[in-house]
Chains A and B, each alone.
Chain A
Amino acid sequence: MVVAALLGTAAIAAEIPLSERKSGYDLMGRETRAMQDDDTANPGMLWVLDGEALWNRKAGAADKSCTDCHGDAQASMKGVAARYPAFDAARKRPIDLEQRINACRTDRQNATPLPFEGKELLALSAYVARQSRGLPIDVAIDERTKPFLDSGRELFTARQGQLNLSCAQCHDDNWGQKLAGAPVPQGHATGYPLYRLEWQTLGSLQRRLRNCIVGMRAEPYAFGAPEYVDLELYLMWRARGMKMETPAVRP
C-alpha cells in the first residue's frame, strides 16, 4: 500500500487541506494524551520549571537575567513561540526560537551561547514556548521570509537518502496509515520542544528532524544548519492556525 502510493506519487505532493489537518495528539492513545494534558504529571514540565529558574538567573559579563529586559515571561513571552521561526534583521534570515535565545545570550547578556540540545537551552525554550500554549501558530510570511519558506517547502518535498523518500510522501500522502505498527502522523510541529517517550527526555524539533532524516537513511545536517530553520519555517507555516501544545508528549 505504501509502496504503491510512492510509485504513483507526482513530483509535487498534495498538501493537506487546512480543514483536514490533525495534530499528532489525535493519533495517540488515551493514556499518552492524559500525560500531556496534566501539568502535574507531564514530564516536559520538569524542563519548564528549570526554564523558569534560568529565566530569573543573571548571566554573562552584562550580569543580566532574561527578567531584567523581558520582565514576567507569562506576559512578555505570550505568543512569541507561535511566531517563530521569525526574520532576524541582523542575520538577514529567519532564525528559530533556540537561535533567538542564544542571540540574546551573546548580544545582550554577553554570555556564551548555550549548546544545542543541552539541558539549559531546552529548558529555556520549553519555558518560553509554554507561554504560547493554546495560541494559534502564526509565522509571518512576507517578501523577506518567503524565499526561506520556499526553500523549506523544497526540502520537505524533495526525495533524499538511500530510500529516495521525501517527507511529503509519508506526512502529506500517507498520514494515518501504519509504518512498522505505528501510525504516521501529519507531522505538524505544534508541541516543540516535546517529551518524546522514545527519547525518555525532552527534545527539540531539530532533534526530531535529525531522527527522521537518519531514519530515511539520509545524511542529517549539522545542528543549527539553515536547512533546519527553513524546514521549521515551512512546518510552522504548514501548521498555521493550529494550536501550540508545548510541552507536548509524543510516542
Chain B
Amino acid sequence: MTRALINVPAKAKRGEVIEIKTLISHPMEPGYRADNTGVLMPRDIITDFICKYNDEEIFRAELFPAIAANPFFLFSTIATESGTITFEWTGDNGFSAAESVTITVE
C-alpha cells in the first residue's frame, strides 16, 4: 500500500507562514545495491514531488538516489486563502501517488 503521512495545519491566519511535512512510503532503491545472489537491483526511486496550493505550484523537488527511503520533506508556505493543498509524487516504473488536504484561512 502506498501510504503518505501529510501534516498541514487545518486552520491558519491569513499571511501566516505555515509548515508542511510530507512523508511517503517508498524504498528509493538507488540502483547501486546487489541482492543476496550478487545481482544488481535496478533503480526504483521517486524522481519528482510537487505541491500545489489552489492549483498554484508552491514547492517542487527533483529527487536523486541520494534521498533516503520513505522520502520526507519539510517546507513552508504563506497561508493566503482557504482551499486545497495537493501533493503529487512521480517516479521510476510509472510510480504515481497523490494526496490532498483542505485548509481554512481566516
Interface of A toward B, CB cutoff 8 Å: 40-41, 43, 45-46, 49-50, 53, 119, 200-201
Q: Which residues of the partner chain A approach B66 to less than 8 Å between Cβ atoms?
A: none
**Proximity bits, B20-41, A CB within 8 Å = 1, else 0:** 0101010110000000000000
Q: Which residues of the partner chain A approach B70 to less than 8 Å between Cβ atoms?
A: 43, 46, 200-201
Q: Which residues of the partner chain A approach B5 to less than 8 Å between Cβ atoms?
A: 40-41, 45-46, 49
Q: Is the CB of B69 within 8 A of A200?
A: yes
Q: Which residues of the partner chain A approach B21 to less than 8 Å between Cβ atoms?
A: 40-41
* Residue B61 at the chain A interface, CB threshold 8 Å: no
Pick from B7, B23, B74: contact of A43, CB under 8 Å? B23
Knowing A40-B21, A46-B25, the reply to whether A201 touches B69 (Cβ < 8 A) is: yes
* Residue B1 at the chain A interface, CB threshold 8 Å: yes
Q: With A and B bound together, what is the CA distance between A158 and B88 in angstroms?
A: 52
Q: Is the CB of B72 within 8 A of A41?
A: yes
Q: Identify the 9 closest CB pairs spanning chains A and B, nearest first.
A: A40-B7, A200-B69, A46-B25, A43-B70, A46-B3, A40-B21, A49-B3, A50-B3, A50-B1
Q: With A and B bound together, what is the CA distance between A43 and B4 in angstroms?
A: 10
Q: Which residues of the partner chain A approach B101 to less than 8 Å between Cβ atoms?
A: none
B68 to A, closest residue via Cβ? A200
Q: Which residues of the partner chain A approach B69 to less than 8 Å between Cβ atoms?
A: 43, 200-201
Q: With A and B bound together, what is the CA distance between A43 and B1 in angstroms?
A: 14
Tally chain B residues at the interface, Cβ within 8 Å.
15
The distance from the CB of B21 to the nearest CB of chain A, in whole angstroms, is 5
Q: With A and B bound together, what is the CA distance between A49 and B23 in angstroms?
A: 12
Q: Which residues of the partner chain B approach A53 to less than 8 Å between Cβ atoms?
A: 1
Q: Which residues of the partner chain B approach A201 to less than 8 Å between Cβ atoms?
A: 27, 69-70
Q: With A and B bound together, what is the CA distance between A49 and B1 in angstroms?
A: 10
A41 to B, closest residue via Cβ? B21
Using A41-B21, A41-B23, A200-B69 as known contacts, list a sample of 15 further A-B pairs with CB atoms less than 8 Å apart, ordered by residue number in A.
Answer: A40-B23, A41-B5, A41-B7, A41-B72, A43-B72, A45-B23, A46-B4, A46-B5, A46-B23, A49-B3, A49-B5, A50-B1, A53-B1, A200-B68, A201-B69
Q: Which residues of the partner chain A approach B72 to less than 8 Å between Cβ atoms?
A: 41, 43
Q: Which residues of the partner chain B approach A45 to less than 8 Å between Cβ atoms?
A: 5, 23
Q: Is the CB of A41 within 8 A of B74?
A: yes
Q: Which residues of the partner chain A approach B23 to less than 8 Å between Cβ atoms?
A: 40-41, 43, 45-46
**Which residues of B1-15 have CB atoms within 8 Å of chain A's CB atoms?**
1, 3-5, 7
